[in-house]
């Protein structure tokens, strides 16, 4: 059997590509190959044991719906942030595709209210040298997001799209100009076209594919920092009005840019496992019964390397690995009060904390892991944020580390995102997106190009 299109990865990019293709051209033979589990079988044990048991592949990052399946399902409804798709295809077209992405979510059952930017909060932040980046946004929630995506997957299956889970694509070989062999750990498949939608976990896969096929790649910047957890009343006003305060700050000491983002109201801190290295992240449920008393968010400092070093992912992975070494195989947790007094957090100091952690991490000292410059940036940002949300710099605010956002390398691409004839690369794995809506939008865009037979 030769498929018309094989999509590697059942994340947002892959699923939205498949949707657009089958909706517009029902006769297409499409297969999605995913290395993780079916959505219903995905389970992160952190929610029950509070501790990562290092599943392979990680259930937060892999499986049907990809990283979206373990996410907070905040959907950003403009190109204001969440990736760089607008740099390639323009703001208006990106906005149109995001609208289409949102219409599809609504078609499969989403009715979440949209939160709009709030001028008064923006002004308050500006008065304290903080820039509140705003976009219309929905908090769909981990639980509700899964229901919507399950409806979408059922629709795809009904329409004849095949989804093979727990199959890891090992390599792709070109047999002829429009015939590829996709080798997995279990079967080999043939297809006329391939869409690589492998997400951030597939970074190495993309790198290997590019090396094998002589495709030039560009490295991206990296963001490094911590996840902060504190009692939810501290950011309640922002959460109620806009759900996600995404705030940028320029530090006074180094004039570096930091950002507070990925805010999870009354949520959970979780670990994500990328190729065996644990870093932090967070999410929140919609169901009132599953909410906690804490909110969490990331504070990250951006790093742009210049010549001769061009492997930022290796840099961040090494730092994350160091936190796992000191944390005895786990991520670290430290009270802000301990950090600024220059001492580690111990079990007994943590036991006295009035903020009860939602993740079991190893009490320790983040200053032994993060470079001084990054640590200084984070501390300065916490004090700056404290001016608009007093309580942020309380001694019992908890810092988990490290949190790292290393965006995949960017393969050189055509304007159709075709990195080699009949091979497309989309979503976070292309290094161009970093959000559900942009990954989905890019998936729809590439499907349209394929349907229009718009090749290089
Ligand atoms: C904990 C967490 C919370 C997040 N919260 C939000 C949020 O609230 N809002 C938001 O906009 N974004 C959020 N994000 C980011 C968002 O999830 C991603 O930007 C989005 O999922 C990217 O979609 P994608 O399809 O490009 O890749 P992914 O969703 O990562 O999907 C890629 C899929 O490809 C599979 N794959 C990789 N390699 C192979 C292979 N060789 N063979 C077979 N399958 C393979 C992977 O298993 C994975 O399932 C969050 C991410 C995490 C981890």
The pLDDT score that the predictor gives to residue 56 is 86
The pLDDT score that the predictor gives to residue 61 is 87
- CB of 427 shorter than 6 A to ligand 1: yes
Checking DSSP bridges between strand 222-231 and strand 217-218, what pairing results, if any? unpaired
Q: Spell out the domain ranges in the chain.
A: 2-118+136-218+408-451, 222-406
Four-CA torsion 432, 433, 439, 445, nearest 10 degrees: -40
For residue 136, what pLDDT band results from cuts at 50, 70 and 90?
very high
- CB of 182 shorter than 6 A to ligand 1: no
Ligand 1, atom 53, lies closest to the CA of 67
User: What integer is the mean pLDDT of 55-80?
Assistant: 91
- On the question of pLDDT at 406 being above 90, the answer is no
Q: Which atom of ligand 1 is closest in space to residue 443's alpha carbon?
A: 25
Q: Which atom of ligand 1 is closest in space to residue 71's alpha carbon?
A: 3
The pLDDT score that the predictor gives to residue 310 is 77
User: Mean pLDDT across the chain, nearest whole number?
Assistant: 94
Ligand 1, atom 13, lies closest to the CA of 435
pTM: 0.88
Q: Which tokens go with 385? A: 């944020």
Determine the distance separating the centroid of ligand 1 and the alpha carbon of 194, expressed in angstroms: 18
Determine the distance separating the centroid of ligand 1 and the alpha carbon of 113, expressed in angstroms: 24
Over the stretch 185-206, which tens digit does the pLDDT of each residue have? Answer: 999 999 999 999 999 999 899 9
Structure-model confidence comparison of residues 44 and 24, the more confident one: 24
How far apart are alpha carbons 39 and 199 in whole angstroms?
A: 16
User: What integer is the mean pLDDT of 349-377?
Assistant: 97
Q: Which tokens go with 274? A: 């990328």
- CB of 281 shorter than 6 A to ligand 1: yes
The pLDDT score that the predictor gives to residue 97 is 98
Contacts of 92 (CB under 8 A, 6+ apart): none
Determine the distance separating the centroid of ligand 1 and the alpha carbon of 396, expressed in angstroms: 32
- CB of 267 shorter than 6 A to ligand 1: no
Q: Which atom of ligand 1 is closest in space to residue 167's alpha carbon?
A: 43
User: What integer is the mean pLDDT of 139-161?
Assistant: 96
- CB of 274 shorter than 6 A to ligand 1: no
- Of all residues in the chain, the percent with pLDDT exceeding 90 is 85
Ligand 1, atom 50, lies closest to the CA of 71
Determine the distance separating the centroid of ligand 1 and the alpha carbon of 242, expressed in angstroms: 24
- On the question of pLDDT at 456 being above 60, the answer is no
Over the stretch 285-344, which tens digit does the pLDDT of each residue have? Answer: 988 999 999 999 999 999 888 888 878 888 999 999 999 999 999 999 999 999 999 999
Determine the distance separating the centroid of ligand 1 and the alpha carbon of 206, expressed in angstroms: 14
Out of 3.40.630.10, 3.40.50.620, 3.50.50.60, 3.40.50.10420, select the CATH number for domain 2-118+136-218+408-451.
3.50.50.60
- CB of 36 shorter than 6 A to ligand 1: yes
The pLDDT score that the predictor gives to residue 28 is 98
Out of 37-51, 134-148, 305-319, 355-369, the most confident range is 355-369
The pLDDT score that the predictor gives to residue 454 is 66
Over the stretch 13-40, which tens digit does the pLDDT of each residue have? Answer: 999 999 999 999 999 999 999 999 999 9
In sign, the C-alpha dihedral spanning 277, 283, 289, 295 is: positive
């Amino acid at each position: 059997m030769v498929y018309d299109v094989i999509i590697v990865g059942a994340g947002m990019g892959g699923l939205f590509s498949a949707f657009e293709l089958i909706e517009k051209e029902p006769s297409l033979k499409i297969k999605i190959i995913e290395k993780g589990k079916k959505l219903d079988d995905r389970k992160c044990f952190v929610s029950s044991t509070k501790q990562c048991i290092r599943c392979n592949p990680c259930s937060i990052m892999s499986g049907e719906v990809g990283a979206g399946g373990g996410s907070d399902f905040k959907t950003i409804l403009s190109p204001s942030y969440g990736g760089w798709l607008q740099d390639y295809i323009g703001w208006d077209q990106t906005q149109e595709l995001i609208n289409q992405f949102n219409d599809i979510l609504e078609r499969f059952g989403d009715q979440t209210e949209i939160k709009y930017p709030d001028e008064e909060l923006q002004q308050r932040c500006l008065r304290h040298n903080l820039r509140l980046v705003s976009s219309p946004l929905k908090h769909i929630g981990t639980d509700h997001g899964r229901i919507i995506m399950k409806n979408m997957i059922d629709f795809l299956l009904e329409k004849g799209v095949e989804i093979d889970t727990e199959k890891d694509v090992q390599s792709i070989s070109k047999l002829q100009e429009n015939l590829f062999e996709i080798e997995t750990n279990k079967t080999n498949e043939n297809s006329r076209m391939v869409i690589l939608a492998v997400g951030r976990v597939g970074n190495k896969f993309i790198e290997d594919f590019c090396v094998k096929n002589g495709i030039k790649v560009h490295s991206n910047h990296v963001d490094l920092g911590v996840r902060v957890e504190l009692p939810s009343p501290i950011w309640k006003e922002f959460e109620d009005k806009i759900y996600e305060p995404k705030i940028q700050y320029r530090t006074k000491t180094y004039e570096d840019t930091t950002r507070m983002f990925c805010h999870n109201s009354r949520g959970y801190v979780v670990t994500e496992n990328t190729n065996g290295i644990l870093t932090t992240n967070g999410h929140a449920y919609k169901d009132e019964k599953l909410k906690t008393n804490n909110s969490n968010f990331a504070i990250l400092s951006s790093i742009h390397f210049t010549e001769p070093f061009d492997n930022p992912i290796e840099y961040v992975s090494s730092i994350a690995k160091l936190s796992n070494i000191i944390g005895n195989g786990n991520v670290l947790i430290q009270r802000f009060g301990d950090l600024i007094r220059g001492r580690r957090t111990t079990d007994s100091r943590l036991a006295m904390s009035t903020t009860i952690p939602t993740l079991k991490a190893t009490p320790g000292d983040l200053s032994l892991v993060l470079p001084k410059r990054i640590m200084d940036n984070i501390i300065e940002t916490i004090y700056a944020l404290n001016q608009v949300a007093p309580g942020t710099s309380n001694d019992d605010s908890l810092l988990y580390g490290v949190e790292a956002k290393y965006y995949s390398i960017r393969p050189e691409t055509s304007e159709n995102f075709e990195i080699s004839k009949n091979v497309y690369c989309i979503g976070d794995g292309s290094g161009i997106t970093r959000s559900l809506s942009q990954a989905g939008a890019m998936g729809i865009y590439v499907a349209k190009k394929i349907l229009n037979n718009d090749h290089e």
